[in-house]
Amino acid sequence: MIESVSRRAFSSSSGTYNVRASELARERKLNIFNVTIVLLDDTQHSFQIEKKAKGSVLLELVFQHLELIEKDYFGLQFTENGSPPNATNTEITRWLDSGKSVKKQVGVNAQFWLAVRFYPPEPCRLAEEFTRYLLCLQLRKLLLDGRMSAPKNTALLLASFTVQAEIGDYNATEHQPNYLSELCLIPKQSAEDERRIRELHKLHKGQSPADAEANFLEHAKRLDCYGVESHPAKDYHGKDIFIGVTSIGIVVFQNSTRVNTFSWSKIVKISFKKKQFFIQLKREPSESYDTVLGFNMRSGRAAKALWRCSVERHGFFRLRAPRRRHLLESFGAFAGVAAPTVARTETQALEDARRSRSSNRSFVRRSSSRTRERSAGASPALCVNSARGARVTAHDEPPPRAAWGDAARDIEDSDGGFLERALRVPFPFVDESESESAPEQAEDETEGVEGAVFVHLSAGPDGRFGFNVRGGGNGVPVLVSRVAPRTRVHLQEGDQVISINGKDVDEMTHEQVVQMIRNTKGVLTLLVKPNAVYEPETGPEEPAVCFVPLEPVEQLEGDPLEQSMLLLGDGLASGAALKQYETLLRRLSEECSSVAKLQQNINKNRYRDIAPYDSTRVILKNSPTGDYINASYINMDIPNSDLVLTYIATQGPLASTVGDFWQMVWECESSLVVMLTVLAERGRAKCHQYWPKVGTTPLKATNTLTVLTNSEQNLGHYVRREMSLKESSSGASRNVTQLQYTAWPDHGVPEDSTAFINFTKLCSQLRNHRAVIPTVVEELAAEEERVLEPPMIVHCSAGVGRTGALILAETALELLARRQPLYPLDLVRTMRTQRPMCIQNASQYKFVCESIQAAYSQGVSTIEKPTN
């Protein structure tokens, strides 16, 4: 045994070998494997990670490679068989879990696809232009492969914005008639489609790539399937449906039509057990039980996937901060599966983006459209260098033809101009030059306002400044709600406006703020507090576009009715019509419903937030339970005639209000009751059966009123009943017809618009035209009384949604028959001044507008009244 060796012995002809270090290096090499990521522009990139690395490590590598700031909206997808995600393999498509090992989720040969995981409900609130570009790429992929559907007109409009972003302005010398034939822009693309896209492309002259993408997103976000992650399921009748999860809640689709929406505010709990997925809804005041809806999924794994998806989206969009997992939950101390959590919420992501105020860097745009001839591995056909690098060629082109009309029809310049205004949705853009000198009082005004800055904007050619505001009045702060892309240098969504041109806005209403901005000539000076918290429900917002002409109809060329229908068609195609609808006030703030809130009347309301105005409510004269009923008079004047369509819009009777309902029918002398609901939908009572069955004893509604059903006919989509209403004290009786429309689902729309229009015509024909004067409010009694017909009584469940739809449809048919111009938005506004929330959601409004269009295209003659 050698106890000691001199160092000098190893100083020559010697060497060393580190055995352990070499083995560790070999182990490290074996523990690293390659991961391939397919990006949204179809380019691929490989990353090296350790085999034990979690998903968060890979995600961070991808985001760093892309220099992606708003990364919370994105994730990595993979499929169980390694095929690209598409419309046919959604059941085997998974999201990479950031908290679990990558290798355990996908194995060694890993391939992922970058995708948008959380779709922002308002894309304009994204701070980065690059983020909006990636969102556009994702939506284009979904539209092309069928995972996302859109009406034909909307799909063509979106395709035209894609062409503008990738090619630039239309130039007849550079773009041959078939210049779109090599691009795949929509599924099953035809020559006629390319012609219509080309006509729309001409309208986008001057839009930069960022502007065109902003317009693309403004229209895409209005699609029913925008941001929906669908899961196949079956309802309790065994029908095939799709359950989707969005930022607003859980939606149900059947045959590509949204039939139901459950908002997060109405959902109490979501759960799953084996193959079933459950939604527990908030109890209504009139209900004595909780409503739990169950859906049958294809497997237990599918039910769990839908549950996880719902939890994650609720956490991201509805919470201000991620839910903190209970300590014992992480150790499995609780029964069941631990609920997933998100790293950050949308609120946190938006606040970070506002604080960063990051500059939009230059990046390379690649064509997302597949040419029909090149292979998947070929280089992109189009490439745009820099953030605004699309060619914008100066040229003088003749005005384009209308995209939706006949190709041979000559359209005046004003029509093309209107379409250009309607299709440029976000805003007219501004000159971003600041004034050279700030006002002298600037320093004084900023005192006491922490972090406030001055912003100086010059108006564009049309006199607008490129931003919208929300709020104002009653102490509500005035916030910047939308900003044109080129104005984001100065303003951001969520900034609070302190003063305008030196005048404080604290005491101004929303209308006064908007008017002051519009009246400003030259430079607009704003005192702004950056990074204010954006609350989306702080008040009305200035409409982004106006599809109703500002000038009188008489000044428009051609037939006024035809002009109004063209405007309606363009508004529906571009999304402007629904955007205008969303800006309407749901109820008049100055009106009140104090009588409905009295203690003795609260239980007479089916829903606590739907009650009649005091000024238009129906007042009962001889009801033993009081004069209140949840019903409103609605009168719709037909211009240039003496006709007034009279209605009573009411809720579906409760068991305790059946007597009040029939007392109202008797006192108003109506002979027609229209019912637009079934008695129960999805396990929830929508209306009490307030009539007796045929062949049974009469129903004693009150001490003096009895109801007898004489006959009942089921005519497919509706049921007709003939009844007799008898008053015992006087011995008088009256025949009453009830029409029950059974083809309108709750929170959805009918499948057949023609059947609905025919039903509406029948209702109009059965009106009783005996002249009577309806009950009037005492304050209005001094005014000149007008002889009106007995009102048609219309009800659904709440008496506002489907009820308002029928009133709008009949009024529109009368206007069509009399060749009067038709503007549905104005009609809805008129209805809501008489009963709040008429036509409850955008899908109902869209359905009625499309039904009116169909009736107009088929030709409508004057509605004939029955002779008997």
Q: Which domains does the chain have, with CATH numbers?
A: 29-116 (3.10.20.90), 123-222+364-423 (1.20.80.10), 229-325+336-350 (2.30.29.30), 449-529 (2.30.42.10), 584-858 (3.90.190.10)
**Residue 838: pLDDT above 60?**
yes
Candidates 785, 765, 767; CA nearest to 775 is 785
pLDDT beyond 70 at 778: no
Q: Would you say residue 336 has pLDDT above 70?
A: no
Q: Compute and round to an integer the Cα radius of gyration of the chain.
A: 32
pLDDT given for residue 28 in this prediction: 56
pLDDT higher than threshold 60 for residue 384: no
Give residue 149's pLDDT band: very low, low, confident or very high (50, 70, 90).
Answer: confident
pLDDT above 90 (res 514) = no
Which is it for the CA torsion 299, 79, 364, 176, positive or negative?
Answer: negative
> What pLDDT is stored for residue 463 in this prediction?
67
User: In which band, very low, low, confident or very high, does the pLDDT at 331 lie, cut at 50, 70 and 90?
Assistant: very low
pLDDT of residue 747: 60
pLDDT of residue 607: 87
3-state helix, strand, coil in the chain (%, to 5): 30, 20, 50
Amino acid 551: pLDDT: 37
Place of tokens 């497997």: 299
Instruction: Quote the mean pLDDT of the chain.
Output: 76
The pLDDT value given to residue 378: 36
What does the alpha-carbon distance between residue 314 and residue 248 come to, in Å, rounded to a whole number?
8
Lowest mean pLDDT among 298-307, 428-437, 633-642: 428-437
Q: Is 147 strand, coil or helix?
A: coil
* Cα distance between residue 449 and residue 506, in whole Å: 13
Q: To 10 degrees, the CA torsion angle through 185, 190, 195, 198?
A: 10
Residue tagged 């009244």 (tokens): 865
pLDDT at 768: 58
Residue 136's pLDDT is what? Answer: 93
pLDDT > 90: percent of the chain: 22
Q: Where is average pLDDT lowest: 598-607, 708-717, 779-788?
A: 779-788
End-to-end distance of the chain based on CA atoms, in angstroms?
128
Q: Which of the four pLDDT bands, split at 50, 70 and 90, describes residue 724? A: very high
Tell me the range of 114-128, 401-415, 469-483 where mean pLDDT is highest.
114-128
Query: Considering only 341-350, 393-402, 548-557, 824-833, which range has the smallest mean pLDDT?
Result: 548-557
pLDDT category of residue 123 using cuts at 50, 70 and 90: confident
Structure confidence at residue 685 as a pLDDT band (50, 70, 90): confident
Query: What's the whole-number mean pLDDT along residues 340-347?
Result: 79
Higher pLDDT, 129 or 368: 129
Categorize the per-residue pLDDT at 108 as very low, low, confident or very high, splitting at 50, 70 and 90. Answer: low
Mean pLDDT across 199-208: 86
Identify the pLDDT of residue 807: 96
Give me the pLDDT at residue 333, please.
Answer: 34
Mean per-residue pLDDT, 164-176: 86
Q: State mean pLDDT over 86-106.
A: 82
Top-confidence range, 325-329, 501-505, 846-850: 846-850
pLDDT at position 111, please?
86
Q: Does the pLDDT at position 816 exceed 80?
A: yes
Name the band, by pLDDT with cuts 50, 70 and 90, for residue 450: low
Residue 435's pLDDT band (cuts 50, 70, 90): very low
Per-residue pLDDT, averaged over 401-428, amounts to 37
The pLDDT, as a whole number, for residue 619 is: 93
pTM score, two decimals?
Answer: 0.51
The mean pLDDT of 609-619, rounded to a whole number, is 91
Task: Read off the pLDDT of each residue in 716-724 and give the average, rounded to a whole number.
Answer: 93
**3-class DSSP state for residue 231?**
strand
| pLDDT tens-place string over residues 478-507 | 888 777 766 766 787 777 888 998 888 888
Can you tell me the distance from the alpha carbon of 406 to that of 761, in angstroms, rounded to the nearest whole number? 30
For residue range 565-609, list pLDDT tens digits in order: 888 887 887 777 888 888 888 887 666 788 998 999 999 999 888
**pLDDT at residue 780, rounded to an integer:** 40
What gap in Å lies between CA 83 and CA 38, rounded to an integer? 12
- At 538-550, the pLDDT tens digits run 333 333 333 333 3
Residue 1: predicted pLDDT: 45
Contacts 24+ apart (CB under 8 A), 844-847: 844/749, 844/801, 844/802, 844/804, 844/805, 845/577, 845/578, 845/581, 845/805, 846/572, 846/577, 846/578, 846/749, 847/749, 847/750, 847/753, 847/756, 847/805
What is the CA angle 861-865-867, rounded to 5? 140
pLDDT of residue 757: 93
- Does pLDDT of 621 surpass 70? yes
The angle that helices 191-202 and 152-167 make with each other, rounded to 10 degrees, is 60
**What is the reported pLDDT for 383?**
37
Residue 835 or residue 103, greater confidence: 835
How is 726-779 classified by DSSP, letter by letter? Answer: EETTT--EEEEEEEEE----TTS--S-HHHHHHHHHHHHHT-----B-----GG
What pLDDT, on the 0 to 100 scale, is given for residue 434? 30
Q: Could you give the residue numbers annotated as active site?
A: 796
Cβ proximity of 145 and 184 under 8 Å: no
In angstroms, the Cα distances linking 321 to 121, 346, 351 are: 18, 9, 12
Phi, psi at 108, each rounded to 5°: -75, -45
pLDDT of residue 857: 81
Express as a percent the part of the chain with pLDDT over 70: 75
